[in-house]
Amino acid sequence: MITQKMKYALKALLVLADAAAQPAPEALTIEAIAKRSGTPKRFLEHILLEVRNARIIASTRGRSGGYQLIKAPSEISISELLRLIDGPIAPLPCLSRRAYQRCDDCADEETCRLRRVFADVFWSYLLILESLTLADMLKQDHPAAAIVA
């Protein structure tokens, strides 16, 4: 299950993607993003900082400042964003690609029944998740659009 923080991040990025698609794209203030996405501003500040540090969005100061996407929506992977915001997505630490850790109570990964069952489910989930981008979520007819609805 994705966290509320991840939902807020997705909603904010969708707002920024919509703004970037306008004929005259402009940076959006955190207040505008919060209002359009229905996200509390106090949570959004921290989330946008993480996303900015990952170089997905940029921020500018000043009267016409605000936030805007610096990556195309088709280049923003939902799985990468999920890892950035929520951390490892594997159901078991021994299945994680980026945060692999051997399970303390496991004698042999090759014969571990838990690992084998969860690996099958996880790899199927991961194949779908890694194919999704923010651009997919912008499409109203795409199943991923239901994620933040």
Q: What is the pLDDT of residues 32-78, one digit of tens each?
A: 999 999 999 998 999 999 999 999 999 988 887 899 999 999 999 99
Alpha-helix residue ranges (DSSP H) falling in 21-101: 30-37, 41-53, 78-86
User: Is the full-model pTM beyond 0.85?
Assistant: no
pLDDT at 149: 47
Same domain, 41 and 82: no
Is residue 45 assigned to a domain?
yes
Is residue 142 assigned to a domain?
no
Same domain, 65 and 82: no
pLDDT at 145: 47
Quote the domain boundaries for residue 95.
77-132
Total domain count, the chain: 2
C-alpha distances in Å from residue 93, one per residue of 18, 98, 112, 129: 36, 10, 13, 18
Structure tokens at 65: 């400042």
Is residue 140 assigned to a domain?
no
Last residue in a domain, options 30, 49, 69: 69
Is residue 137 assigned to a domain?
no
Is residue 54 assigned to a domain?
yes
Is residue 20 assigned to a domain?
yes
C-alpha distances in Å from residue 52, one per residue of 82, 88, 96: 15, 19, 25
pLDDT at 69: 95
List the one residue out of 40, 15, 31 whose CA is nearest residue 66: 31
pLDDT at 140: 66
Same domain, 20 and 62: yes
Same domain, 32 and 13: yes
Q: What is the pLDDT of residues 90-129, one digit of tens each?
A: 888 888 877 887 877 777 877 787 788 888 888 888 888 8
Structure tokens at 50: 């993480």
Last residue in a domain, options 69, 89, 123: 69
Is residue 28 assigned to a domain?
yes
Structure tokens at 96: 């994680």
Last residue in a domain, options 69, 91, 108: 69
Same domain, 105 and 123: yes
